[in-house]
Chains A and B, each alone.
Chain A
Amino acid sequence: MIQVENVSLKHRSTPILHDISLEIPKGGITALIGPNGAGKSSLLSLIARLQPLQVGKISIEGFPVDTTPNRDLAKIIAILRQDSIVTSRLRVRELVGFGRFPHGRGRLTAEDQAIIDQSLQQFDLTDLADRFIETLSGGQRQRALVAMAFAQGTDYLLLDEPLNNLDMYFARELMRSLRKIADGKGKTVVIVLHDINQAGFYADRIVAMKTGRVVADGAPSELLTPETLHAIFGFEMRVETIDGIPMVVHLR
């Protein structure tokens, strides 16, 4: 379980998060949605101890993120940042392999190799494994980064807009892979999404943020209503149900 209690965050004197409390039980997919600047990335980076906690408490499986040794946390939680830039010349397989670093501190066992191979395969990177990252397309690069987070093999996975740059096929593949590890292996996924329909279809729960606060929280069917969506995004949308799937029509 990820437990966020009364967390506030300021940047200099600008408040960014206001008294956020949130419990994410083990297992399942939680989608984090909300307008640009709502504080989604800030919240994720606090949970993943990438910035120091100012006010409040956060713990994962009971381990407080601010006092638990970094190398221990790296075995239970992995994060993919929104703006990961790889400037070094690494081959795809090397990059994905570094996902295993927390486990063997650099020594790759046969089991590690198998996990790396599987991650490569899952994101259709096997043919690109010996290419340098800088020679890949934006979407291929994004897949390599996701594969690296997968290879870390943690029970908790935080993904900040992982669908960026992915085509429809791979966006669907990624979401289905997440569904599979959530259902099959009991993994906990927290994912920031801007595509509300992806969130509605794949997530078990949607948490909506706006101006540093949680403004809505619930199952997709409860949350995807014209009223709630208007409150979050500030414009009218229609919600249709097609084959039992709520679809938000937001083009007009």
Chain B
Amino acid sequence: MSNAARQQSSRTGLLAGFVLAALFMLSLFVGVIDVPFHRALADAGALELLLISRLPRTLAALLAGSGLAIAGLIMQTLTRNSYVEPSTAGTAQSAELGVLLVTLLWPSANLFAKSIVATATALLGTSVFLMTAHRLPPTQPFLVPLFGIVYGGVIGAAVTFVAWQADLLQYLSVWTNGDFSGVLRGRYELLWIGAAMLVAAWMIADRLTIMALGRDASIGLGIDYARMLQLGLVIVSVISALSTVVVGMIPFVGLVVPNIVSRLMGDNLRGTLPVVAMSGAILVLGCDILGRLIRYPYEIPVGTVMGCVGGIIFLWLLFRRPAHA
């Protein structure tokens, strides 16, 4: 990395770190039950609330946000297309399919078992999408997201039909609408696997950057292209499947965060990956806090808030394209 790039990267990283830390603290102390800062450690009840609910919720937002942003980044790198993201790759619908199957075939399964099955089907669904998307011509940038929407729509339609017949529609929507209010200690820990995926992504950052130059350039530089593609696929699928299963679908994070960072800092993942991860966490945590405050003491689910905020940012990105987009 050049000096200019490195300086910019560490400055941006520092700033993002500060904002994230501030939001983290804010998130711990914002909610229906008021926990004044000075009582948090003195009062046993307040501490209990922090540890059982607020901290897990905050960590879940952080993990899901950074995970989805990185999943989006890797997806865009591997497909060489800046308009794909986990929420338009059939992931959520495949996860729903898993929940539906396990509920129908094995009604007594516990939450953990259901999560595992949903993760597996989401993984499968996302892999099929990525493998197909990879073959679509790079000259038609909107083909990939369009295909993703149609693909997700087809799986979603099948799921809805079966769920409707089995009277499970309501139950399913609880699983897939992005919402942190149900996150408690013991119900979000699967997301830490996503954190391990972030570490894996960091380790192959250079390879991913090179893969964005195309297959031939990658092979020319001695990269095992097919294997790296599979690894990237696993990282993306696992992160998006887990976050869909644990907190539901949060749209736009994986789309707008990597695009903004790319415009500001470029596409050298060694420098941008930490910034993308932190910005994703900031965006999701910020939207969750916003959702808790707008109609206080009621909550608006993070998926809905992000739908608005992310949508506006995305439109802004589309209409303020740089000259060489």
Contact = CB atoms under 8 A, between A and B. Distances in A.
Interface string B253-286: 0000000001100111010000000000000000
Given A86-B213, A88-B209, A98-B209, A130 B5 contact: yes
Given A90-B267, A91-B2, A106-B270, A101 B212 contact: no
B213 A70 contact: no
Contacts of B5: 91, 94, 130
Contacts of A78: 220
Nearest to B141: A87
A61 interface: no
B219 A88 contact: no
Interface string B212-224: 1111110111111
Contacts of B219: 48-50, 70
A90 B268 contact: yes
A132 B2 CA distance: 12
A152 to B, nearest CB: 7
Residue of B214, B216, B220, B223 ringed by the most chain A CB atoms within 10 A: B220
B210 interface: yes
A214 interface: no
B222 A89 contact: no
A93 B4 CA distance: 11
A101 B223 CA distance: 9
Contact of A89 (B221, B224, B267): B267
Interface string A67-108: 000111111001101001111111101100111011001100
Chain B interface residue number, banded: 20 to 34
B95 to A, nearest CB: 30
A94 B2 contact: yes
B210 A101 contact: yes
B266 A89 contact: yes
A52 to B, nearest CB: 11
A36 interface: no
Interface string B26-46: 000000000000000000000
Nearest to A83: B216
B206 interface: yes
Interface in B176-217: 205-207, 209-210, 212-217
Contacts of A90: 209, 266-268
A49 B220 CA distance: 8
B267 A74 contact: no
A70 B222 contact: yes
B83 to A, nearest CB: 13
A102 B222 contact: yes
A152 B217 CA distance: 12
Contacts, number: 89
A152 B212 CA distance: 18
Contacts of B223: 70-71, 101
Nearest to A102: B222
A129 interface: yes
Interface in A178-197: none
A50 B218 CA distance: 10
Contacts of B210: 98, 101
Interface in B209-241: 209-210, 212-217, 219-224
A165 interface: no
Contact of A101 (B1, B77, B214, B222): B222
B96 to A, nearest CB: 34
B138 interface: yes
A77 to B, nearest CB: 8
Contacts of B295: none
B320 interface: no
Interface string B120-161: 000000000000000000100000000000000000000000
Contacts of B212: 87-88
Interface string B281-320: 0000000000000000000000000000000000000000
Nearest to B204: A106
A71 B222 contact: yes
Q: Which 6 A-B pairs have the closest CB atoms?
A: A74-B222, A71-B222, A106-B206, A88-B267, A134-B324, A89-B266
Interface of A: 45, 48-50, 70-75, 78-79, 81, 84-91, 93-94, 97-99, 101-102, 105-106, 129-130, 132, 134-135, 152
Interface of B: 1-2, 4-5, 77, 80, 138, 205-207, 209-210, 212-217, 219-224, 262-263, 266-268, 270, 324
15 contacts: A49-B219, A50-B215, A73-B222, A78-B220, A87-B80, A89-B262, A89-B263, A89-B266, A90-B266, A94-B268, A98-B206, A98-B213, A101-B223, A129-B2, A152-B221
Given A78-B220, A94-B5, A94-B266, 17 more contacts: A45-B216, A48-B219, A50-B215, A50-B219, A50-B220, A71-B224, A73-B222, A74-B221, A87-B138, A89-B263, A89-B266, A90-B267, A91-B266, A97-B1, A101-B210, A130-B4, A134-B324
